[in-house]
Amino acid sequence: MPQNTPVIKNRKAYHEFYVLENIECGIELRGTEVKSLRQGRANLKDAWCSVDSEVYVKGMHISPYEQGNRFNTDPIRPRRLLLHKREIRRLSLEVKRQGLTLIPLKLYFVKGKAKLEIGLCKGKKLHDKRAVAAEKESKRAVERAVKLDG
């Protein structure tokens, strides 16, 4: 991936969900949205995906392009994701059968095309979040102790 391509990450998703599988897909955008994304002006924090006969990402905020005019679109409009039909069917079955959720994880550019990495996720309970936080804290404490001794 080239150095100048901004990567927009959804850090909250890794805190709130277990990511079971990652899927890379294209995203249908309008012209000024692409220019705004190249400046890194997007937010995936409250975004989620809905699956029917097509997959849409909802709640993703792409700030309006400053030099744009009347062609700027609604910042939080639903955007269609580009997946094969068999992938959509498989995702639809997994979401309905297992009660999983599709959450956008990363947004980046590959060869000039915007790509969205979505994750098939399962929600974490409060005690799971506490356990993960305690584990991270213990790792930090061990690293600090090793650093002081060495």
Is residue 71 pLDDT above 80, yes or no? no
- Is the pLDDT at 24 greater than 90? The verdict is yes
Question: Is the predicted pLDDT of residue 22 greater than 80, yes or no?
Answer: yes
With a cut of 70, say whether residue 139 has pLDDT above it. Answer: yes
56 vs 16, residue with greater confidence: 56
Predicted confidence (pLDDT) per residue in 32-52, tens digit: 888 888 888 899 999 999 998
**Alpha helices (H) along the chain:** 11-16, 31-38, 85-98, 126-149
Q: What CA–CA distance (Å, rounded) separates 39 from 32?
A: 11
Contact 122, 68 (CB under 8 A): no
- Give yes or no for a contact between 104 and 21, defined as CB atoms under 8 angstroms apart: no
Question: What's the rounded Cα separation, in Å, for the pair 21 and 59?
Answer: 21
Q: Which CATH superfamily is domain 8-124 in?
A: Small protein B (2.40.280.10)
pLDDT digit string, tens, across residues 85-128? 999 999 999 998 888 999 999 999 999 899 999 999 998 888 88
For the chain, the domains span: 8-124
pTM, to two decimals: 0.79
Please tell me the predicted confidence (pLDDT) of residue 6: 67
pLDDT at 82 over 60: yes
Q: What whole-number distance in Å separates Cα of residue 138 and Cα of residue 144?
A: 10
Q: How far apart are CA 121 and CA 123, in angstroms?
A: 7
Residue 17 Cα distances to 22, 49, 60, 72, 124, angstroms: 13, 14, 17, 33, 5
Q: Is the pLDDT of residue 3 over 80?
A: no
